[in-house]
Structures are given as structure tokens and as C-alpha cells.
């Protein structure tokens, strides 16, 4: 937080953000299995100098640099420099991660049972208990149930989901959580009926909006008030920014508003984009058992402990925190 000598009031801390891994509402069948929301806080002229240094080190003719430039093996030294302790973004950057498959399970359990405390158990037992194919069927059915828009199919989203649950119950009759899900069909019917009346203000399956609340919470530690500058996003309407403000109040964190800008006008957005893209790729590699331990170790200090992540092994590797899934922030959003 900076000091404004004109009025003697501490000015909000300005935090600049971008994301990587958005697939809309297709969280279980999209191109990525991780969503990352990166943020940086530093003067614009400092960020511009770091971006120029990245360009000077990589020396690519590309007019627009993205995270994939730094992720190429031939530029590993640039990537290590960017993430290194005492490097350019050390202490000035943060990334909130969302494991998409777990996010779907969490949202579905919350919708059907009224709370998400069972989601972690279901997620961690599901693949092992049901087998890979049936677990994938369950994830896809849950995703389809929650989507605002669904493609034409023989089953509607409600019928398809509960048919899948019934098949799992027949295979695993002693699993009490499946019985509770099966009994929750009225809540699913009511949810789909509400969607027919019009799209919701906050799509259940979009991880961006809660990620921004988590980001504000991180930067507001110590009582700071945070003003967000974000790469332009159609998702961030005035009404949704108002929702972010409301959730921030509920979580007890300071939020001083959000401004949308185009990336080319603010080099800090490019640094946030670098971090988000790098974190998404490295976290996905860790989730799928093909990580580079040295790079994960460099990323770890930037990863928020309230990241929405169900897989225990990769969570500990990425954050060194086991199951830190829900303090005030996760329960609020």
C-alpha cells in the first residue's frame, strides 16, 4: 500500500492480473486441465524494463510475447531467471490455481447437497473406486449438468447425470454419498429450470470470478486495500465486478474496484500473463506426473495456498500445503 501525501490516506495497492487456461464452461473436455490466475504488483516502468529484458534475452521476432516463449527448452535460462528467488517478480507476484476436474466436482456437490465438504472425498475416491472410464463419465455428466448451454444429446443434462449416478450405485451399492446424490434430483431440476428463465449472473462453472476474489484476498493481507487492473474480459461486466466486491466484503478483504485495460497498454499485464501461462503448464505437468522438479520448486513460492486443488500429491508439491482447501475465502465463493 502506498502513501498519498496529498490527503494523508494510504492509497490502494494496485494489482495487475491476467489468466491462462480458460475453456469456457467445458472444464472436463477442453484443451487444458488447469486454470491459472496470475497477478503482479510493481510500478509500470519497472515492469516495462523486465519485459524488455525478456525480449532481449529471447530475441524472438514475434511482436507479442507469450508464456510459451519462455517454456521452450532453449529459453530455460530465461524462465529460471524470471522465477528465481530475488528475480524480477520475486515478492511481487502471485498465482491462484484451479484444478478444473475438482472444481466441477466441488460445484456439483455444492449444488446438489447444499455444501461442498464431501467434494474432496468424492474426488479423491472417485477414480480409484469407479475406474478411469466410469470416473470420466461422471465428470463429464456433472460438467454437462452445470453448464448453462448444453449440446443436443439423447439425454438431457439432468437425465444424463442421474443415469450415470444410478449406474455407479448399482456397481457400488454401499457408497452412501452416491445415494445422497441420487436423492438430490429435485435440486438439479430446479437449477435447470432457473437456467431456462435466463443465464445466471455468475456462471457456476467459471473459475475466473472466484479466482479474482482469492487474488484480492492474497494481496490484502495485513489490512491492505486492493485495486485490480485486469486484462480486458467479456466475463467481467459491471454486475460481476459488483459481485466480486460483495464476495470480498463477505470474506473480510479490502477491494477498491476493478479496471479493465488492454494488455498492450500495460506491461504488468504481460508479466501476469507470463506467470499465469507458466504456472498453468507446470501445474498441469505436476498433476499428470510429468513435472520438472526444479521448475516446480521455482514456481512454488508464487502459488497461493487457497488454490482450488483436489489431487493431494500434486497439491503438496505445488504448495507444500496439504488440503488447505477452505478458509473464509473458499467458503465465500
Q: Tell whether 173 and 110 lie within a shared domain.
A: yes
Among candidate residues 196, 218, 243, the one where a domain is terminated: 196
Hey, what's the cell of 190? 430446479
Total domain count for the chain?
2
Q: Is the pLDDT of residue 114 over 80?
A: yes
Note whether 150 and 220 are same-domain residues. Answer: no
Strand pairing report for 2-4 and 9-11: antiparallel
Cα–Cα dist 304/267, whole Å = 23
Q: Do both 118 and 72 map to the same domain? A: no
**Whole-number Å distance between alpha carbons of 270 and 257:** 21
Mean pLDDT, residues 67-94: 95
Contact between 268 and 236 under an 8 Å Cβ cutoff? The reply is no
Residue 151 is predicted with a pLDDT of 63
Residue 89, pLDDT above cutoff 80: yes
What's the CATH code of the domain at 304? 3.30.420
Q: Which whole number is the average pLDDT over 243-250? A: 95
Using DSSP's 3-state secondary structure scheme, residue 288 falls into: coil
77 and 222 part of one domain: yes
Contact predicate 114/181, CB 8 Å: no
Q: Once rounded to an integer, what is the mean pLDDT over residues 288-316?
A: 97
DSSP string spanning 91-140?
TSEEEEEEEHHHHHHHHHHHHHHS--TTHHHHHHHHHHHH-HHHHHHHHH
Same domain, 154 and 276: no
Q: At residue 51, does pLDDT exceed 50?
A: yes
Instruction: Report the percentage of the chain scoring pLDDT > 70.
Output: 92
Arithmetic mean of pLDDT, 44-54:
96
**Based on the domain organization, do 119 and 175 belong to the same domain?**
yes
The domain containing residue 30 runs over which residues?
A: 2-98+203-332
- Examine the domain organization and report whether 219 and 301 are in the same domain: yes
Amino acid at each position: 500500500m502506498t502513501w498519498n501525501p496529498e490527503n494523508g490516506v494510504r492509497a490502494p495497492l494496485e494489482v495487475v492480473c491476467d489468466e491462462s487456461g480458460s475453456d469456457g464452461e467445458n472444464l472436463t473436455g477442453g484443451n487444458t486441465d488447469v486454470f491459472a490466475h496470475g497477478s503482479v504488483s510493481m510500478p509500470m516502468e519497472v515492469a516495462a524494463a523486465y519485459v524488455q529484458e525478456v525480449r532481449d534475452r529471447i530475441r524472438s521476432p514475434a511482436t507479442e510475447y507469450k508464456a510459451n516463449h519462455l517454456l521452450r527448452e532453449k529459453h530455460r535460462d530465461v524462465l529460471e531467471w524470471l522465477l528465481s528467488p530475488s528475480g524480477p517478480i520475486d515478492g511481487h507476484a502471485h498465482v491462484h490455481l484451479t484444478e478444473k476436474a475438482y472444481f466441477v466436482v466441488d460445484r456439483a456437490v455444492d449444488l446438489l447437497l447444499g455444501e461442498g465438504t464431501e467434494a474432496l472425498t468424492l474426488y479423491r475416491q472417485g477414480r480409484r473406486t469407479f475406474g478411469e472410464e466410469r470416473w470420466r463419465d461422471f465428470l463429464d455428466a456433472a460438467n454437462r449438468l452445470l453448464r448453462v448451454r448444453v449440446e443436443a444429446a439423447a439425454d438431457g443434462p439432468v437425465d444424463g447425470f442421474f443415469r450415470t449416478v444410478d449406474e455407479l450405485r448399482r456397481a457400488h451399492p454401499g457408497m452412501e454419498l452416491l445415494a445422497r446424490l441420487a436423492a438430490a434430483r429435485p435440486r438439479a431440476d430446479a437449477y435447470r429450470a432457473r437456467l431456462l428463465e435466463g443465464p445466471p449472473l455468475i456462471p457456476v462453472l467459471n473459475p475466473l470470478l472466484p479466482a479474482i476474489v482469492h487474488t484480492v484476498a492474497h494481496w490484502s493481507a495485513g489490512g491492505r486495500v486492493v485495486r485490480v487492473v485486469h486484462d480486458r474480459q467479456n466475463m467481467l461486466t459491471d454486475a460481476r465486478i459488483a459481485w466480486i466486491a460483495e464476495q470480498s466484503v463477505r470474506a473480510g478483504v479490502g477491494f477498491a474496484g476493478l479496471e479493465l485495460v488492454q494488455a498492450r497498454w500495460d506491461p504488468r499485464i504481460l508479466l501476469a500473463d507470463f506467470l499465469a501461462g507458466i504456472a498453468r503448464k507446470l501445474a498441469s505437468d505436476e498433476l499428470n506426473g510429468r513435472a520438472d522438479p526444479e521448475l516446480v520448486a521455482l514456481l512454488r513460492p508464487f502459488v497461493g495456498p487457497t488454490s482450488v486443488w483436489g489431487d493431494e500429491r500434486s497439491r503438496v508439491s505445488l504448495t507444500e500445503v496439504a488440503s488447505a482447501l477452505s478458509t473464509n475465502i473458499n467458503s465465500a465463493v
